[in-house]
Structure 1
Amino acid sequence: MEFTRRYLPMDWEERWRREKERRKRVIEEGGEGIEQDNRELRRIVAYNDSRMGLTSGRGNNEGSEVRMSGAGQERTGELMSDEVFGDEGRNIHTCCSKNYPKEVFASLQELWDSSLLTDLTLTTENGNSFHVHALILAAVSGFILERLKIKCGEQSVEQSDNEEALQVHRWSVHTGAGVDHVGLRAVVEFAYTGVVVSLNKVTMAQIKAAAQVLVVPRLVELCNNKERLKEGDCALKEERTVSTVEQMKITFQAIEQLWAERVGCDVTLNVDGSFFHVHRVILAASSDYFRGMFTCGMRESRQTCVELHFLFAPELEALISCSYSGNLLLSWDSVFEITCTALQLQFQPALLICLNFMHQEIQADSCLDVASFAEAYGMSELLEEANDFVLRNFREVSATAKFQDLPAEKLLNFLCCDGLCVPSELAVFRAVISWIEADPEERLAQAGLLMTGVRFPLMTFREFREVRAINLRMECFGDKEVELYGSALKEFGFSLPKSQDHCRVRRPKDVVVLIGGDQLNQDVGHRIPSRELWFVNSLRCGTGLVKDIEWRRLSEIPDKPKFRHGVAVMEGMLYVVGGCYFYAKDDIMKSAYRYDPVKDSWKRLADMQEFRSNFSMVVHEERLYAIGGDKDINTNVDSVEMYNPDTDSWSFARPLDQALSGYAVAVLNEGVFISGGFNCEYVCLVSMFLYHPERGTTYLADMTNERAQHCMEALQGHLYVAGGVCNLRKFYTDQQACEVYDPVADAWTAFASLPVPHVGAASVVLEEKFYVLGGYCQDDYSESGLVHRFDSSTQRWENMGKLPGAVTDIQACLLRLPQHLRQ
């Protein structure tokens, strides 16, 4: 079967040549498995057609539908990535899933429970036996490891005598005296789960004896710790015990070491002369494809060498390495090929790592490739994310070389979308002109159609002057004359710029929610604390640089009004804690509530142990932490409380080094960073430190400017600080200078100052932009309620509109709301 070769990039040219040669060889040898190869080749062709902007109906529906679990931030939180650099300067990331060992051992336990691929029988003196995987037991037991090495040596001799051997070797070990049924079961349980549920004072002696005979040092240590704890050894309580997850990681690392030494490898994979020595059980635990191959009676389940004609060695090598380490070395040069192979062989953990990489590392010069790949393989959620990235970063994407290869139809779809984010409509016009100029002879005929996606009424007169200057009345090409300026002028002059049809209206997936706060009633001259929750349903881009926010009322706190309170979001739930309901000494609260956006309902939680206001709350390792704050109007505290949602209880964590309130806090790379604030004498600080609930405080480089009542948010691996007040002789004044912290360099750098003061404001990061909401001016106590947004790509602040209600001492967060609330 012959396929037409399209315009493929150079790396795919070589792949195409190899594929044709391989297919010719397979056909000459009998054509075995050709239909499966045909499907794979059609998939490759469909992907390349799509990524190069070519339309083809072939293969687009043959890729598996991939469902990515949960919201974007929940899913991507599982991916950990360290950046390194290749020889040619390309960024290569070591990516892994922190839950990978736990997931693999769950699969291994399933195989063990079903007696699938078990190759070792352990027997005790009284005749009890267990069928297990030799590799897993060898990873924890020195006794089994020594016998496995001996067995591997014997099998090597047998294999050299019979290269065509198809039989998988099964063997048995007698544990000898001192190991009974109870002890052996505990050793096996520990090997597969990292814990022994049956370990108690009744079984202690039997389990410890078995662990000593079978040389399982970690289980012996577990027994010793249990004995010491029973005897009331206080020193043990201060020691750091090894958790179940950590035990699994240690066992997993031992398995990886055995693979590196080729101990117990029971199958060899042959890919075009490249041989990979592996363990069947590990491949079966990582890949549904290999699980089916090795457990469903196929011929390959009895072979010691399996030939895989349809694969490429580099991609398979990466996936095998991931099966043993949980790590993938990924770059934009390799991720698509590895993902293709992971899909084909159903390496689900590796596939999720690849998809998370595409989500987290997507950039202006890679987003169009991601979109084409997702479309070719039927990955609807990834396609939606990639297209949304294009819309959010349209100006940056339009400056890339790959933008010039977009088909006119896809470009028009982006232009006509309400959610297109641009500083002004002039950026849309410039993008269309650059696309046409990339190939004017072919594309000029489509200019008129594409210009219908430019919303000329949203331009100012100054912007439209540039439109007129770019030779809108194009030269004649062939028989066609392209007239653009007249229609653009007509649309600019006679359309209604305020109509819904012309505004760009973007509805982010996550919404900004505003909680509580305070404001001055100008009519009666007194303050009005708030119980209301508002959310941003859409962002509107009007004429020129004019922006606006569509606010909607969400709910009402079932408590007294709150300001200077703590807010956090954990597992999709909103937590609102503490704060003030007025300005007297006894008006500070310690109550806590949780809001469920799906049920649109509130639940009263256990009160904090201390009254707190002017503090912040963060999520760290699935717990809430309320840090410092004021316990009355003149006294702040150093205490930190942790909330456990499983028990609905608060307990004290390690305190701060000093009393602190009015600070700003943000979480970056699982670290809790705290900047500025008031000390016990209510002096504004320049400090920056890392807080850990067990290890306490680690001081970092000081800020350039002291500040309190300010905002800090994590954005693109840095911490952005803005607003607040600072010390000036004996009184406070507005702090409008802004700075950004680089945690790698431990250094601060200034960025654009705020256009107006924002003291006691709220802040969030929405779609990679830093929002500062509300606050007041310290110098004259005026309240503007303005919302400003910082765009790191332009290094500018934008005025986004005003708040709907309370404007000072407010809190904000991002929340995913049910769709019916946003209709």
Structure 2
Amino acid sequence: MKSLAHFITYILSPQRGRKQGSRSFCTEDWSGGPYHLWQRSPANWTMSISDSAHRPFDPGSVSLPTQKDRLDLPLPDRRTPSWPPSPDEDPSLPPFPLEEPVRRPKAPGNLLSPALSLEEEENEDEEGAAEPEGLRSEEHPSQFFAEAQRLREQRLLLDEEVSVGGRVYGVHRVILAAISSLFRDRLLGGRGPRPPLSLDVAAGAWEAVLTFAYEGLLGPAPWGDVLVVAEALGAPRVKAAAQGRRKGTGSAREDEKQTSPAEELRENLRSVELLYKEGVGCDLELEAGGCRLRVHRAALACGSEFFGAMLLSGMRESQGTEVSLHTISAQDLRLLVSFAYTGAVRAGWPGLLRAAQTAVQYQSSSCLALCQRALARGLSPARCLALFPIAEAPGLERLWSKARHYLLTHLPAVALCPTFPSLPSACLAELLESDELHVQEEFEAFMAVWRWLAANPETEESEAKALLRRVRFGRMSTRELRRVRAAGLPPPLPPDLLHQLLVEAAVPGQERRREPDQALVVIGGDGLRSDMARRQPSRGVWWARAFRCGTGLVRTVEWGRLPALPAPGRFRHGAASPAGSQLYVCGGQDFYGHANTLASTLRWDPGQEDWEEMAPLCQARSFFPLLALDGLLYALGGRNGDVALNSVEAYNPELNVWRPAPALPAPRFAHAAAVLEGRLYVSGGCSGAGRYLASLLHYDPKLEKPGTLLSPMGVPRAGHVMAALGGRLYVAGGLGETGDLLSFEAYEPRTDSWTHLAPLPSPHVGAAGAALQGELLVLGGYSHRTYALSHLIHAYCPGLDRWLCLGTLPRPRAEMAACILTLPSVQHIALVPTRHQTKPAG
């Protein structure tokens, strides 16, 4: 075909012939040629690390290939090369920016049936949707008492005075009543001015109790004096804390048993909530829509920004004992008051949507953050369509972004939902216009428009034409165009409109590729030199956004090259992107001896040409995961030389400094970690004694005892990958007591249970893993049985429960790192294609 216009005329002609060879494809014999998967006998080649240009050979510091590096993890030597060489730093390849890549075919995962309406979906079984019943904000108790402390320091809303040692302390009676029976009795006595309560106790011990009430920990004071104050106030929890301090003096085991300040504050808030439910000491009555609630003035001001502003404004409502709220419904009033006392929202998905709207309207930031997180986790096609118009309201920008991203990544499934035709045409046009629309083929975008037009026959022809013009017909294949011709346009649209649009799309250069906003980046690793003679740590940094389907079973990955790591390269390192826009690499090894463990930290920004050296780790480490959480980077455990570590370090990108963080419960290395819904999980690895671990750990750096053991994996493993996807944790591959592990498991946090899924098609020990566009990717690694490096990329599709081979890495690697990075749009074309003929696995 000389042009697309000629082809369109041909394809729309009913008399066209079926001439063979009208479109040519690469049908190269995959048993030979340049892509032949060849192997050489180990007898015909050798691997040498003694003649490295940058390290002298030291027999005492190098791990022999037949050993397990004293850690039950093999350092493979005779790895049979399974792919022809392509150098990591080929000067003939253009640097970033590279080509504008094409979106890889995507299958939606973890979706409820798109054929269900929202009402039908809510009646589905509990497994079909994550109904967040009784969601609770972990931050609310600390925010509640931080506000109470601020009010006390500014002497606002104080209703009790206590005289100790000649000094008068102003306090909030309800806050002290949460820990003291004495103040609870005074709260029962009603409101109104009273003479100061005089206590004959040590001032330091009294202040320590105040600190416990407002901050959750005992202040510095002799434990004996604190016990006296606790007895006088009737404060059993203060007494228990003081006794625990006494027993724990000089005992690490007893220190571990101490309740953390965060837990004490949660208990304090539960006591305040109990006072509210029992109606003890309530000094304010709120009325809205016929609903009357008696509350504590101070507690309400601490738990709700809206009521705090009202009670501290000096207006008439802030002085009386009854307040009528004419602009608030009874349902909203109950929600706001309940959240102020509990930090919880007890509602299903529709109730959460209303709660989010209420939180925006009445300035409850904690409630809004909780609802937005829950709504974003529970998205489905029907829910997303219900949420998208509402999320456009001011204050719900984060939720709108999540809903828009869901629509972009799941449009084919959303188009099957019964409520899809209710989506405004302007929203559909904006989705079709986006380069980030994830469709397996452009025909899916056409079918989404077709279904919308078929369900809205009253649509004017001009509006229908505007939608259809956003379908990129110029990017369609021959097969897709034939399917378009077969589908036609739904009535009452004229049939010749389709022919007109196809002819318009034949203008060269008019259609852009659809380009996802995130790229997969692979950094460093252990591989073979181009001459296959010896192993060498890699400096290569590659990125890919295009995973393309070729003819038949051919898969093509379009790789681009980023600036290489500084010489001599590294492997067994950590890599992460805190905000998705900058890439950090730290630790690892630059050679094969125990003395070659690194502490250096490197950073690359898409606007930079080279890597920038940042502050080093406090302790050199390898075999460890690096993760981003709450704006910080965490390096967890690992190995320094031949010593396993339990230490954790946190890096602040703004300050460029590493600081120690609470340690893991026990040393481990070759483990995996992932962040799911703001919680950091650590799985498996090897202990300091070289035993494979099956444990799963929730690590919370905000707690003094950060490690909470959860249900263990079904199989102990190390050198595996773990990623968070669709509200679950997935663990794949690695090495176990029996050798290569193909087993694949998923962890459900709600039930604290594991489920075995379709196994991996081939071994991946020391592989890299990442979650991209709704799929789990496992890249490279090696086989413990054959010591052969792997170049394969396997993807798990949760919706299909099977593995697919997406293609290959630029060259076989193991013990590299991978992460997801947001790269700017690229206009220049420069391909580094790799191909692999494969069939669906599993």
Matching residue's letter, 2:192: R
Question: Does residue 1:431 correspond to 2:448, yes or no?
Answer: yes
1:147-180 deviation line (CA, Å, top 9, x unaligned):
211x13xxxxxxxxxxxxxxxx432254345136
Verify the 8 A CA contact 2:636 2:664 in the aligned structure 1: no
Asked if 2 retains the 8 angstrom alpha-carbon contact of 1:664 and 1:676, the reply is yes
**Residue 326, structure 1, aligned to residue 339, structure 2:** no
1:708/1:283 CA distance change after superposition, 3 Å: closer
Number of aligned residue pairs: give it.
685
Give the alignment partner of residue 770 of structure 1, picking from 776, 788, 809. 776
Aligned match for 1:603, one of 605, 614, 622? 614
Aligned pair partner of 2:217 in 177, 181, 195? 195
- 8 Å CA contact 1:135–1:264 kept in 2: the answer is yes
Cα separation, partners in 2 of 1:816 and 1:257, compared to 1, 3 Å = farther
**Which amino acid counterpart does residue 506 of structure 1 have in structure 2?**
P
Q: CA deviation at 1:741?
A: 5.0
Aligned to 1:94: 134
Instruction: Quote the residue 1:553 is aligned against.
Output: 562
**Residue in 1 that maps onto 2:114:** none
Q: 1:388 aligned to 386, 405, 417, which one? A: 405
Residue 173 (structure 2) pairs with residue 142 (structure 1): no
Is the deviation greater in 512-521 or in 129-138? 512-521
After superposition, the C-alpha distances for 1:751-771 in whole angstroms (9 at most, x for unaligned) are 3754x6655421111243212
Q: Any conservation in 1 of the 2:420–2:452 contact (CA below 8 Å)?
A: yes
What CA deviation, in whole Å up to 9, does each residue of 1:719-751 have, x standing for no partner? 4344557899xxx77x66755455637443333
Counterpart among 154, 157, 172 of residue 194 in structure 2: 172
Q: What amino acid sits opposite 1:171 in the alignment?
A: P
The match for 1:562 is: 570
**Cα distance per residue 1:201-258 (max 9 Å; x no partner):** 5xx66655444322333334444455556xx554874551122222222211111111
Structure 1 segments unaligned to the other structure (5+ residues): 1-83, 153-168
Does the alignment pair 1:217 with 2:236? yes
Which of the residues 694, 698, 716 maps onto 2:726?
716
Cross-structure match for 2:152? 112
Determine the C-alpha separation between the residues in 2 that align with 1:808 and 1:233: 46
Distance in 1 (alpha carbons) for counterparts of 2:246 and 2:323 = 49
Structure-2 change in CA distance of 1:486 and 1:737 (3 Å): farther
C-alpha distance in 1 between matches for 2:145 and 2:604: 34
What RMSD over aligned residues (CA atoms) do the two structures have, in Å? Answer: 4.3
Letter of the aligned partner of 1:714 in structure 2?
A
Q: Which amino acid aligns with 2:484?
A: V
Aligned-pair distance for 1:85?
Answer: 9.0
239 and 441 in structure 1: CA distance in 2 versus 1, 3 angstrom threshold: closer
Instruction: Say whether residues 1:529 and 2:537 are aligned partners.
Output: yes
Residue in structure 2 matched with residue 67 of structure 1 by the alignment: none
Correspondence for 1:312 among 319, 324, 329: 329
Q: Is the 8 A contact 1:655 1:696 kept in 2?
A: no
Sort the Cα spacing of 1:680 and 1:336 in 2 relative to 1 into closer, same or farther, 3 A.
closer
Between the aligned partners of 1:418 and 1:394, the Cα distance in structure 2 is 13
TM-score, length of structure 1 as denominator length: 0.72
Native 8 Å contact 1:639 1:652 kept in 2:
no
**CA spacing shift, 1:290–1:642, aligned 2, 3 Å:** closer
Q: For structure 2, which runs of at least 5 residues remain unmatched after alignment?
A: 1-120, 652-656, 700-704, 829-842
Is the Cα contact below 8 Å between 1:512 and 1:766 reproduced in 2? Answer: yes
Alpha-carbon distance between aligned partners in 2 of 1:781 and 1:596, rounded to the nearest angstrom: 32
Cα distance change, pair 276–555 in 1 and its aligned pair in 2 (3 A): farther
Q: By how many angstroms is 1:587 displaced? A: 6.2
- Distance (whole Å) between structure 1 residues aligned to residue 165 and residue 369 of structure 2: 46
Asked whether the 8 Å contact 1:562–1:580 carries over to 2, the reply is: yes
- Pairing 1:294-443 to 2, within 5 Å after superposition: 294-377=311-394, 379-442=396-459
Q: In structure 2, which of residues 710, 714, 721 is the aligned counterpart of residue 702 of structure 1? A: 714
The one of 510, 515, 529 equivalent to 1:505 is 515
Match of 1:263 among 280, 286, 291: 280
Quote how far apart the aligned CAs of 1:300 are.
Answer: 1.4
CA contact (8 A) 1:549 1:800 kept: no
- Change in 2 beyond 3 A, CA 1:99/1:140: same
Question: By how many angstroms is 1:495 displaced?
Answer: 5.6
Indicate the residue corresponding to 2:525 in structure 1. 517
- Distance, in Å, in 2 between the alignment partners of 1:753 and 1:365 is 32
Q: 1:751 to 1:192 in 2, by over 3 A?
A: same
What pairs with 1:453-532 in structure 2 (closer than 5 Å)? 453-472=470-489, 477=492, 481-487=494-500, 489-490=502-503, 494=506, 501-508=511-518, 511-523=519-531, 525-532=533-540
SS in 2 for 1:270: strand
Does residue 749 of the first structure (1) align with residue 756 of the second (2)?
yes
Equivalent position of 2:87 in the other structure: none
Q: SS in structure 2 opposite 1:310?
A: coil
Query: What is the letter of the counterpart of residue 212 of structure 1?
Result: E
2:839 corresponding residue in structure 1: none
The 10-residue stretch of structure 1 (526-535 or 777-786) with the greater mean CA deviation from structure 2: 777-786
Equivalent-residue separation in structure 2 for 1:667 and 1:380 (angstroms): 23
1:354 CA displacement: 1.9
Instruction: Quote the sequence identity (%).
Output: 28
Check 1:793–1:219 CA distance in 2 against 1; reply closer, same or farther (3 A cut).
same
Report if aligned partners of 1:758, 1:774 keep a CA contact under 8 Å in 2.
Answer: yes
SS of structure 2 residue aligned to 1:467: helix
SS at match of 2:427: helix
- The alpha-carbon deviation at position 361 of structure 1 amounts to 2.3
Checking the alignment, whether the CA contact within 8 Å between 2:520 and 2:821 is kept in structure 1 is yes
Q: Residue 21 of structure 1 corresponds to which residue in structure 2?
A: none
Q: In the TM superposition, what is the alpha-carbon distance from 1:517 to its structure 2 partner?
A: 0.8
Task: Please say which of residues 96-105 and 185-194 is displaced more in the overlay.
Answer: 185-194
- Mapped partners of 2:787, 2:398: distance in 1: 47
User: 1:540 and 1:768 mapped to 2: Cα distance?
Assistant: 14
Shift of the alpha carbon at 1:661?
Answer: 6.8
Instruction: Report the Cα distance in structure 2 between the residues aligned to 1:194 and 1:681, rounded to whole angstroms.
Output: 40
AA of the residue aligned to 2:187: L
TM-score by length of 2: 0.70
Deviation at 1:275, TM superposition (A): 0.9
Q: Aligned AA for 1:344?
A: Q
Aligned to 2:33: none
Q: Does the 8 Å contact 2:635/2:650 carry over to 1? A: no
Q: 1:145 to 1:85 in 2, by over 3 A?
A: farther
- CA–CA distance in 2 between the matches of 1:469 and 1:86? 37
Could you tell me how far apart the structure 2 residues matched to 1:451 and 1:783 are?
47
Q: 1:251 to 1:86 in 2, by over 3 A?
A: farther
Tell me by how many angstroms 1:780 deviates: 7.4
Distance 1:500 1:680 in 2: 62
Partner of 2:296: 279
SS in structure 2 of the partner of residue 375 of structure 1: coil
Question: Judging changes above 3 Å, is the alpha-carbon distance between structure 1 residues 692 and 124 closer, same or farther for their aligned structure 2 residues?
Answer: closer
Residue type matched to 2:177 in 1? A
Tell me if structure 1 keeps the 8 A contact 2:282–2:294.
yes
Counterparts of 2:357 and 2:495, CA distance in 1: 43
| Alignment check: 8 A CA contact 1:593 1:605 kept | yes
Counterparts of 1:238 and 1:177, CA distance in 2: 31
Do the aligned residues in 1 keep the contact of 2:711 with 2:753 (CA within 8 Å)?
no
| Distance verdict in 2 for CA 1:334–1:697, change over 3 Å | closer
Q: CA deviation at 1:644?
A: 5.7
Q: Kindly tell me: are residues 216 and 574 of structure 1, through their superposed partners in 2, closer, same or farther at Cα, counting changes over 3 Å?
A: farther
Shift of 1:394: 1.2
Quote the residue 1:593 is aligned against: 601
